[in-house]
A and B are shown apart, each in its own frame.
Chain A
Amino acid sequence: MRVWKFGNDIDTDAIIPGRFLTIYDPAELAKHAFEGTRDEFAREVREGDVVVAGSNFGCGSSREHAPLALLGAGIRVVVAESFARIFYRNAVNTGLLPLVCAGAGEIRDGDTVTVDLGGGFIEVNGKRLAVEPVPGFLKSIVDAGGLVAYAKDLDEVETCSTR
């Protein structure tokens, strides 16, 4: 899958600018993903492509439109050296898989990447790079395919329970 490589501190205003926040449909949002900062993304992105970035990906606003825009564009996995907290959680909740990869800096735009979640690595240009597993309490949400699916059959939660 093709890599779309970004730098450090990619903010949610870059992923989806504020003027598109009345849109909630992922496919419509995808038409404006990275508009103004990387216009070719929305035109050329293909189903299954992977976004790879440096540190602090998704910083800024809590807008869930950001992971939704990427999902609408066919992105299922984002690999970064690190993520901003709210984006990371939003990604997990909406079914976009955020993978922390210390070696993300080695990956170049246009590289081909395959993801082996079971093995805990991604493979780029024949080289394996380790990725960190999603923390335990979020793993069940990832496994369910997002927080909606996870919560659908829950009638109540046990407050102050620990995971």
Chain B
Amino acid sequence: MAATIAEKIFSQTCGRAVRAGDVVMAPVDAAMIHDITGPLAVRVFREMGGEQVFDPERIIMLFDHQVPADSIPAAENHVFMRRFAEEQGIHNYDLNEGVCHQVVMEKGRAAPGEIIVGTDSHTCTYGAAGAFATGIGSTDMGFVLKFGALYFRVPESIRIEVDGTFGRRVGAKDLILSLAGDIGADGATYKALEFSGGAMRAMNMAGRMTCANMAIEMGAKAGIVPPDATTWDYVAARREVEPFDLAGDPGAKYAETRRYDVTDLAPQVAVPHNVDNVVDVGRVAGTKVDQVFIGSCTNGRYEDLAEAAEVLGTADAFADGVRVIVIPASRTEYLKALRAGLIERFVEAGALVEAPCCGPCMGGAFGLLAPGEVSLSTSNRNFRGRQGSAQASVYLASPATAAASALYGEITDPREV
């Protein structure tokens, strides 16, 4: 019987046909916990009578939201989690590797066909590796730590067919912002997005991760890119893996199919205070910005930094009065950018380059906004108060648009730089 990718993943895991709407106690291949939501998950695990986690090798632990510790309670959380890792024999990446979703991907902890949960809503990022990955709360994670399984309602899927070729300085972030604008903040609630089409096949892993990452901004449970040579090459470089076919069947039942063409897509900007409040950059060009943040699990990879550096070009400096914060998503991405000379260019132009972490997107660690301030950010959420004061404004855009805006001190179309 024809099936969507989500249905296939649950069916293969359980060895029998599982369809959208079924509720199954599915075993998980991996579970990710970090410094903010992890401590609560561990406490719940204990309250449930947990003594030994189901399988320490399937648990991924790291710290990224408040690193290095920005407060004594944050430091205490880190100590608490380190002790748990040591006691349980869990490999803890600690604060050394970077933002959780980037680390899970680059360490090869996500692969096609796997079911992965994480106590972070952007866990859906691993859909770029062809996994069914979804964010859960700490109590569900306590259950997972104990039993290695969780009740899942197998979601219906929305097929997203993307064709065409991106114009100059337009890319994956613009696509996913335009999708958020079109589908809406709850347009995919309880559903999986299944990306397909020529533009997706042509997209590199960094871009696919940007797209899968923001599936949650439409309420989706997962955002999955069918694995192809690009996926298998990426995963095979990180772990032993045997490629297999995993694609939605032509006759599979989709909740709906949406078709897009990116050929004429303009750079997109999500304006305050909702991610689905999306316009062409021209509509908000000229808006003065106080801070520009280039980084996060959405856009902190080498490719993103290279995109920003290409727009920066040979300019001497970012605009006066703009704080530019650049945060590579991981140590690996940081080193790539460093060795390519990108970090030097950013620092020369006046940026603050911070060690890999969630940074201002966390809205509590650093890089906060005062009332009335405006930030343009390559991250994933522009909710009121997300990056500090509830009276501040956050705009979301691509690394290219962020770099162009940092150069001029106002929101700027990167194609005009």
**Interface of A toward B, CB cutoff 8 Å:** 9, 11, 13-14, 17-24, 35-37, 55-56, 59-65, 82, 84-86, 89-90, 93-94, 135-137, 146-148, 151-152, 154, 156-163
Contact = CB atoms under 8 A, between A and B. Distances in A.
Interface residues of B, number: 63
Contact of B39 (A18, A24, A59): A24
B381 interface: yes
B16 interface: yes
A148 B148 CA distance: 15
A157 B149 contact: yes
Contacts of A82: 186, 189
B181 interface: no
B363 A59 contact: no
A160 B26 contact: yes
Nearest to A23: B73
Contacts of A62: 37, 119-121, 123, 135-137
9 closest cross-chain pairs (CB), A and B: A36-B390, A18-B363, A19-B364, A90-B137, A22-B73, A160-B14, A56-B186, A93-B139, A18-B364
B386 A18 contact: yes
A54 B58 CA distance: 39
For the complex, would chain A's binding face be called helix, strand, loop or mixed by DSSP majority?
A: loop
Contact of A152 (B47, B362, B364): B47
A19 B189 CA distance: 27
A14 B383 contact: yes
B25 A158 contact: yes
Contacts of A160: 13-16, 24-27
A137 to B, nearest CB: 5
14 contacts: A13-B385, A20-B364, A21-B364, A23-B73, A60-B121, A62-B120, A84-B189, A90-B137, A136-B23, A152-B49, A156-B147, A157-B25, A160-B13, A160-B24
Interface of B: 13-16, 22-27, 36-37, 39-40, 43-44, 47-49, 65-66, 71, 73-74, 76-77, 119-121, 123, 135-140, 142-143, 146-149, 151, 153, 185-186, 189-190, 219, 221, 274, 362-364, 368, 381, 383-386, 389-391
B147 A64 contact: no
Contacts of B137: 62-64, 86, 89-90, 93-94
Given A22-B71, A56-B185, A85-B221, A13 B381 contact: yes
A36 B389 contact: yes
A55 B73 CA distance: 34
Nearest to B22: A162
B78 to A, nearest CB: 11
Nearest to A9: B185
A116 to B, nearest CB: 27
Contacts of A94: 137, 139
